[in-house]
Amino acid sequence: MAPILLVFKNHGASAGASMSHSHSQIMALVPPTASARLQTTFPFEIWIIPLAHSSHVHDIDGEKAADLGGLLKLMLRKMSLQLNNPPFNFMIHTTPFQDTCSQLPYAHWFLQIVPQLTVAAGFEMGTGRQINPVLPEDAAKILREVCISS
């Protein structure tokens, strides 16, 4: 696949411009299909993925559901404390429910938490990609270091 070439213009603060003056930019990018699995999308985005393979969220047993609930509560609390209680989106990604509980080896369910810390601007709207200003390793370290008092 050939690289994508994008020319875009941002005008005005509410257009998400990174500079105070009107400006244009030209960017060449690797096609999304080639790079999508290698990129992080949003700053402080959290994925909670079970260690044991399972295609369907409804396969989780009671004990693991309680553990998952505790981990979800912990991560939301750390995110709230560190990031000043940001607005966020929470999604459960699972394969479609089926009459049979067959596992799909290529699909794994997971939880995704996305704090809303950035605004989409010309680049994001023009390419369908996001700019993540925080390295995922740094975000993980910051969240790991948040102390939760009981």
pLDDT tens profile 71-92: 999 999 999 999 999 999 999 9
Tell me, what's the pLDDT at 35?
60
| Helix segments in the chain, DSSP class H | 32-35, 62-82, 122-127, 136-144
Q: What is the pTM of this model?
A: 0.71
Q: Say if 43 falls within a structural domain.
A: yes
Percent over 70 (pLDDT), the chain: 83
HSE on the CB side for 70, CA within 13 Å?
6
Tokens of 43: 């700053």
Tell me, what's the pLDDT at 64?
92
Q: Which amino acid is at 25?
A: Q
Percent over 90 (pLDDT), the chain: 39
CATH classification at residue 50: 3.30.428.10
Total domain count for the chain?
1
For the range 56-65, what are the long-range contacts, defined as Cβ-Cβ under 8 Å and sequence gap of 24 or more?
A: 56/94, 56/95, 56/97, 56/98, 56/101, 56/103, 56/109, 57/92, 57/94, 57/109, 58/94, 58/97, 59/101
Q: Which residues are catalytic?
A: 23
Q: What is the span of the domain harbouring residue 67?
A: 4-145
Lowest mean pLDDT among 19-28, 86-95, 99-108, 133-142: 99-108
Residue with tokens 């912990």: 74
Task: Report how far residue 28's alpha carbon sits from residue 127's, in angstroms, rounded to the nearest whole number.
Answer: 10
Tell me, what's the pLDDT at 3?
62
pLDDT tens profile 27-60: 887 766 556 545 678 999 999 998 888 888 888 8
Lowest mean pLDDT among 5-14, 121-130, 137-146: 5-14
Q: Say if 98 falls within a structural domain.
A: yes
Q: Say if 62 falls within a structural domain.
A: yes
Q: How many helices (H) and strands (E) does the chain have?
A: 4, 5
- Residue 111 burial (CB count, 10 A): 19
Q: Say if 150 falls within a structural domain.
A: no
